[in-house]
Chains A and B, each alone.
Chain A
């Protein structure tokens, strides 16, 4: 505090001194040059030169950064569609950098070249229609080309023509990703948030619906009705709370301690205590009331779902063989078109695969999709990245996660899926590692997951054993 005060005071003093000096200087200026426009020739000249120097320095630093820091930027795309994005980015970059250098050069050069000289008059040039037409039409033409190029790339990426080879789902929640393979039938089963719980991704099958229904009903019967819950817990009955408060106010304001309530001849302190306790419990009550409402609504939904199941059971069969992955690592097959389906349990997240040039928000209540084809296995990608001269920071940590040492190494840490939409305190640390493997290896892996060590080859329903 003392330090702060000293700093403030000394800053102020320096400021005051500075202001006095400037004031003196201004008076001198005024005497020297009566017709000045409140600034001196020297000031104009210095700043004009400053503009020039600044522009040159900015250009030099920008170029230095583009060259020197390219090794830190993302390596070239690891997915097929990403190549087109990279090309489009290069084209756009060339365009905007040339416009940047030309217009900025002109701006700063004019600032320097045409700085104020006394007695000179500026050139009267209020408008020129052909010039204006030119710099409307040329940018328009260039932009139309760029827009067409961009739109066609976007269309190809978002509406792929071919059927996808593999279906995979990612579900986000604070603060992790969970993945699901579509299993033998290559179809992702129906899922609902009403089923979340033990069933991590809420996959809907007859069994899972019924189990969840039982679970919810049990939960409700245990907590009983709100009134029951309330009367068990509270000294003042629910319907009397308002009365009790009124009495408390009278006791408090008028000092009237003669009123008896429930046989208690109370002074204000007793009531205060009594009611304060109950208000605390009131908060708990709100929680219980909410819970009950939520679970009752859930039961209604589950019953509807069960009815729906009875009408069209085949819809619910797709989920039977689905495989939910534990842990934060997933394998993807190389050279296959993978259609990713995204869901979110709680808030909006965004599934961002920087190496694959892929991203899609995960939105509660809505499925979103993105399709891409990985083209390099982890090893192939690593080799390519080394060749491109990219680096990453190798970090050694102790058991508590504190950083012990850092070292820049060539290559990459490999593919990741990260969260790219603000989702809460640990948003910065929500990740899943991705391994791209050869398709044969992937098939074997899927089989192992599906049948485990079962020689009779009966599929394990992984999600139910979570």
Chain B
């Protein structure tokens, strides 16, 4: 460590790198690749929803005659696309991609560490992630298609090959891929936790850490506590499928035969799955909120309002997220009393969430807001967090959930809050820390264009979708033309699809901007956003070990923006306190 002179080959530098910066970039680029696939899939099935059973050469081009004869999407393939879209975006883009990228890049940099606690584990974490991505994509190319039981893969549907073609080999590969993914996530998370606890530089107390680090820290803890439960759920499902056990199966009559496997319960799977599934929402959202906090404070040139309240609300959200999983299961027939309990805990999450929103607003108030592209996305993230969070009050209320459970209202809700919301946080992070990653800036004009297309696209897709849900249309329907009561909202489906296509095309701008800027972007100076945190004290060249010579020392919290008594509107953490000065908050 620290020695900048040891020999590096192409393979040790770019492929099997143990440097946190390179691993972060590997995560990011893999995630971008996966996001393109996931988003492309959504366009394929959105076309079917808007213009059911009409042939598109475009669909046929991608899926071939087997899954899209004459360009008409096959119903089984529709479900497969929906499933893999969800899986890819939730796990590979927003979990692996978001945490993997920014935890890796920012944790050592912002803590003043030379690298992660274990570079080797860090490398393993990426390569497990890569392997699971490959398996997941490979599962799309097998004879009977990939897993198609929805991204939650509830048994018995996912356990019985006779129930649908996707529950054969495709489902097996899905489970294998997720098993490897969990391994990646656990290795990564443990590494993050250990690094944050042990490798803070001199003066970097826990309450001097930037909120990004707090969010990554809590996220990693959530991951370590909840992903193993998903692993056991997957393993038990695999046993049911392959070894003839019966953890999730009971009283099943399929293909004209009563199954010998009895005594299990499909509800058990749902409990296990959502015990991960709900913390997972915050595993996705917290890093996005952390990035947003940092970007907002830096660009508003103001300290984040209520730093300690922010930390407390992160802790509260994290704690509550473990006792709310039942709100996904109000309608499963579990005891109504449990429904009451889960309603109570679920709506409590609104309190820390509200505190966060108000704190963001207070941070912006009387700021001097530099609307960089990152800042635009951060503002967008807060807006989406509000919009999506509020509809959560409807869905989390068991009595209201009766009638909108599993309708498009749910789809709109979670896409806004944890889909688009987290993606916006991620974009904010990419635009903001791009100079840190590549020593160059992204092209701002293209960034603004990308922001507006995406912002308009996201609201254009998901605001109208609430109304489709309130009209009672269930999700995962191949078409809603079979019901006259749903056919009247078909025109809304067309609007949604048009916006979705627009938003998807808009991402081409980002991808172009991203790759073009790596090579041709304007060269950045050391601290392009005039930020306080430690990563901007490291040389632009991104050397091995991060800092030449000794590590920076920290004297203050990271949010001394526009502090009275200083001429500049920022005071980096490495500037010692004056004699009569108190540390920030």
Chain A interface (Cβ < 8 Å from any Cβ of B): 4, 11, 15, 18-19, 22-23, 25-26, 30, 37-39, 43-44, 47-48, 50-51, 54, 58, 61-62, 65, 69, 72-74, 82, 84-85, 88-89, 92-93, 95-96, 99-100, 103-104, 106-108, 110-111, 114-117, 120-128, 131-132, 135-136, 139-140, 143, 146-147, 150-151, 153-155, 157-159, 173-174, 192-194, 196-197, 202, 290-291, 293-298, 342, 345-348, 350, 352, 354, 357-361, 363-369, 391-395, 403, 406, 408, 412-413, 416, 418-429, 431
Contact = CB atoms under 8 A, between A and B. Distances in A.
Given A44-B371, A114-B364, A347-B160, A122 B333 contact: no
Contacts of A30: 522
A323 B355 CA distance: 57
Contacts of B160: 346-347
Given A30-B522, A54-B452, A151-B340, 16 more contacts: A38-B441, A47-B448, A54-B456, A58-B459, A58-B463, A65-B464, A82-B403, A110-B365, A111-B379, A116-B301, A125-B362, A154-B397, A365-B252, A406-B487, A428-B482, A429-B478
B399 A361 contact: no
A95 B393 contact: yes
B55 interface: no
Contacts of B445: 22, 25, 43
A156 B86 CA distance: 35
B476 A364 contact: no
A37 to B, nearest CB: 6
A48 B86 CA distance: 34
Interface in B517-572: 520, 522, 524, 528-530, 559, 561-564, 569
Contacts of B485: 354, 392, 412-413, 416
Contacts of B443: 19, 22, 26
B267 A366 contact: yes
B482 A365 contact: no
B516 A19 contact: yes
A423 B157 contact: yes
A392 B399 contact: no
Interface string B145-171: 000011000101100100110000000
Contacts of A25: 445
B476 A88 contact: no
Contacts of B258: 193-194, 196, 294-295, 297-298
Interface in B317-355: 331-333, 336, 339-340, 343-344, 347-348, 350-351, 354-355
A19 B260 CA distance: 65
Contacts of B561: 122
A167 to B, nearest CB: 17
B265 A365 contact: yes
A392 B306 contact: no
The 10 closest A-B pairs by CB, nearest first: A365-B250, A368-B333, A158-B336, A393-B487, A354-B472, A297-B260, A123-B366, A428-B477, A110-B364, A122-B562
A346 B253 contact: yes
A114 B438 CA distance: 31
Nearest to B491: A72
B459 to A, nearest CB: 6
Contacts of A293: 260
A419 B257 CA distance: 23
Nearest to A68: B467
Interface in B222-255: 249-254
Contacts of B331: 350, 359-361
B544 to A, nearest CB: 27
B512 A15 contact: yes
Interface centre among A25, A126, A143, A346 (most CB of B within 10 A): A126
B484 interface: yes
Interface stretch (B98-106, B206-214, B381-389): B381-389
Interface string B472-490: 1010111111111101111
B582 to A, nearest CB: 11
Nearest to B58: A4
13 contacts: A18-B446, A62-B463, A65-B464, A85-B400, A111-B364, A140-B351, A143-B347, A154-B343, A154-B398, A158-B336, A174-B163, A294-B260, A424-B157
Contacts of A412: 485
B203 interface: no
Given A69-B467, A115-B369, A348 B157 contact: yes
Given A131-B362, A193-B253, A124 B508 contact: no
Given A114-B366, A126-B303, A363-B267, A47 B347 contact: no
Contacts of A126: 303-307, 559, 584-585
B463 A103 contact: no
A216 to B, nearest CB: 9
A294 B584 contact: no
Given A99-B390, A346-B160, A428-B479, A391 B488 contact: yes
Interface string B352-385: 0011011111101111111110001001001100
Given A291-B257, A361-B333, A422-B149, A107 B379 contact: yes
Given A346-B253, A392-B485, A150 B480 contact: no
Nearest to B398: A154
B138 interface: no
A136 B530 contact: no
